[in-house]
Amino acid sequence: MSLSVLARVRAAHARIEAVDRPEVWIDLRPLPEVEAEAETLDARVSAGEHLPLAGRLLAVKGNIDVAGLPTTAGCPSYAYKPAADAPVVARLRAAGALVIGTTNLDQFATGLVGTRSPYGAVRHAHDPSRVSGGSSSGSAVAVALGIADLSLGTDTAGSGRIPAAFNGIVGLKPTRGLVPADGVVPACASLDCVTVFARTLPEAEQALALMTGSAPRSAPTRAPGPWRIAVPPTEQLGELDPGWAQAYEEAAARLRAAGAQLRPVDLTPFTEAATMLYEGAFVAERYTAVGAFIDSTPTAPDLDPTVAHIITAARDIPAHRLFADQDRMNALRTAALATLSDADALLLPTAPGHPTLAEVAADPLGANARLGRFTNSTNLFDLCAVAAPAGDVAGLPFGVMLIGPAHTDERLARIAALLTPPARIAVVGAHLTGQPLNPQLLSLGARLVRTTTTAPVYRLHALRTDPPKPGLERVDEGGATIEAEVWELPPEGLGTLTTALPHPMTVGRIDLADGTSVPGFLCEPYALRGATDITAHGGWRAYLDR
């Protein structure tokens, strides 16, 4: 049986405390207020009301209006109190979603790194030495950490896709205009899109459909046959992080194995356009959005210096340069669409690499520019996109992106569904083979991949629960290896499993003995107080057989 909305709210707040990542949030709604709303939602569902998102917890990027919370856009001195929810927030709440708070971002949505904020740099969900990706950094990490089920971001240059790729979740960047941008602090108003993050593609699609408020316009018709995917030669992708070219080629091979036809494509128009978003005159629109505010408060201590420099430097761009760049962009767009020809989608890595916090600090402009190599051109060309997980490289998520013409959003999702690899999860207790909760895995289509052990950095405790189950704790010292099973299941099955996860269990990364890491069940620290340490037995089954 699924958890009540109230129980899920309390679990989310316990998770917030357990992960101790305050930089993810700008404002959390007061817990009593959220609990009262949760009780109302539970009552409505019990009364038979159909709420498609009942119990789904929603995080909202801090440049999107949420009634009752300040809209800061990552700048406290800019903050204002909105009179109402932005339409996208209102539509999801009407479907039963419950907002838990607003999330951190690159200030004024200017950046792809997630570090340009007076609220602190948002660290990667699983490797705190690396950036989370921006500008929708907090929204992506809130979902990746298992706190929120859904989150809203925005995307001008890739902010709804880069954080998804880095954190191993799904990011949908819809066709411009499909989702209303009212109640959103603009970055570049003519290019901005509201985006959605989720752990699985079906969850993201459901939220996007509700955000549109009506049936999306149909994609252009095409002759029946296999999907046609445009794939540039690897050498055209430029320098990628180690292992990323191979991971990209494997993603393309996965589509081919699913029946898609791969076709070569010249990526030059896309990469040339990408450099124009910040290096050309289009950046002047960022000054139009918030330039007057920055000019009026040039010494405000909460202004990020990199953001302020980018926006104020755009103030003096002459109008003739904008018209020249528009002509150049139109030519590039014509060339890009021609090179795509009758392809259904263009497959690209979402980013060329995943920098550390130190690398971004050493070269904030250069590191950011590199990240936008494949994403910057999408909105300039009026295209839509889906960012989807495509495996791991060196223990961290690797993601790819499918890009298509306007109003092919649904088509891209269908192709992405072929691409998404099965999810994996490590279990150490009641979900092990033969244990009471193992049927939950089997009912979701899971299969056992292997029996192994964790890395020697964990302690195992017997919890006072029904049915009995252990709690796995990562420790800095005194750890040991613990028996574990790795299971593979459909991505939507993992979402179902984590949504119904009861207290005090949480989902995090578990390091295995072979040096890899996969999602797995961990335990919130409060439940370990008074629990029996059973680490010496080496595993749950050995403890039960003692």
pLDDT digits (tens, 9 = 90+) for 503-522: 788 888 899 998 888 899 99
Would you call 135 a catalytic residue per the annotation?
A: yes
For the chain, helix, strand, coil in percent to 5 are 40, 20, 40
> Given 61, 137, 151, 377, which residue is catalytic?
61
Q: Is the pLDDT of residue 198 over 80?
A: yes
**What's the CA gap between 303 and 470, in Å, rounded?**
47
> Given 135, 137, 151, 377, which residue is catalytic?
135
Burial of 264 (0-12, 13-18, 19+ CB in 10 A): exposed
pLDDT at position 496, please? 79
Would you call 469 a catalytic residue per the annotation?
A: no
DSSP structure class, residue 166:
H
pLDDT tens digits for range 29-48 = 999 999 999 999 999 999 99
**What's the CA gap between 83 and 468, in Å, rounded?**
49
pLDDT tens digits for range 267-295 = 999 999 999 999 999 999 999 999 999 99
pLDDT tens digits for range 95-114 = 999 999 999 999 999 999 99
Q: How many helical (H) and strand (E) elements, i.e. helices and strands, does the chain have?
A: 18, 19
pLDDT at position 175, please? 97
DSSP string, 466-504: SS--EEEEE-SSS-B--EEEEEEE-HHHHHHHHHTPPTT
Q: pLDDT grade, residue 335 (50/70/90)?
A: very high
User: Strand 98-103 and strand 57-61: pairing?
Assistant: parallel
Mean pLDDT confidence for 213-235: 78
pLDDT at position 221, please? 63
Residues near 138 by beta carbon (within 8 Å), at least 6 away in sequence: 23, 24, 25, 26, 59, 61, 62, 103, 104, 105, 114, 122, 132
Mean pLDDT confidence for 394-411: 95
Q: pLDDT grade, residue 414 (50/70/90)?
A: very high
pLDDT tens digits for range 112-152 = 999 999 999 999 999 999 999 999 999 999 999 989 999 99
**What's the CA gap between 208 and 206, in Å, rounded?**
6
Are the C-beta atoms of 393 and 461 separated by less than 8 Å? no
Mean pLDDT confidence for 89-97: 98
> Given 132, 139, 159, 517, which residue is catalytic?
159
pLDDT tens digits for range 535-545 = 999 999 999 99
Domains of the chain: 5-215+386-394 (3.90.1300.10), 423-544 (3.10.490.10)
The interaxial angle of helices 284-296 and 305-313, nearest 10 deg, is 120
**What's the CA gap between 74 and 52, in Å, rounded?**
31
**What's the CA gap between 34 and 369, in Å, rounded?**
39
Residues near 463 by beta carbon (within 8 Å), at least 6 away in sequence: 469, 470, 471, 504, 523, 527, 528, 531
**What's the CA gap between 117 and 287, in Å, rounded?**
18
pLDDT at position 1, please? 36
**What's the CA gap between 311 and 487, in Å, rounded?**
48
Q: Is the dihedral of CA 257, 262, 268, 272 positive or negative?
A: negative
The interaxial angle of helices 409-419 and 244-257, nearest 10 deg, is 100
**Residue 29 CA to chain centroid, in angstroms?**
21
User: Strand 170-173 and strand 423-427: pairing?
Assistant: unpaired
pLDDT at position 2, please? 55
pLDDT tens digits for range 159-189 = 999 999 999 999 999 999 999 999 999 999 9
Mean pLDDT confidence for 190-215: 91
DSSP structure class, residue 422:
P
Q: Is the pLDDT of residue 86 over 80?
A: yes
DSSP string, 329-357: HHHHHHHHHHHHTT-SEEEEES-S---BH
DSSP structure class, residue 123:
B
Q: pLDDT grade, residue 215 (50/70/90)?
A: low
Would you call 173 a catalytic residue per the annotation?
A: no
DSSP structure class, residue 64:
B
**What's the CA gap between 307 and 305, in Å, rounded?**
5
**What's the CA gap between 71 and 86, in Å, rounded?**
11
Outline where DSSP puts E strands in 246-289: 261-264
Mean pLDDT confidence for 357-373: 97
For the chain, how far is it from start to end, CA to CA, in angstroms?
32
**Residue 103 CA to chain centroid, in angstroms?**
12
| C-alpha distances out from residue 111 to 165, 310, 313, 371, 442, Å | 15, 10, 15, 10, 43
Mean pLDDT over all residues of the chain? 93
DSSP 3-state of 78:
helix
Tokens coding 62? 């801090």
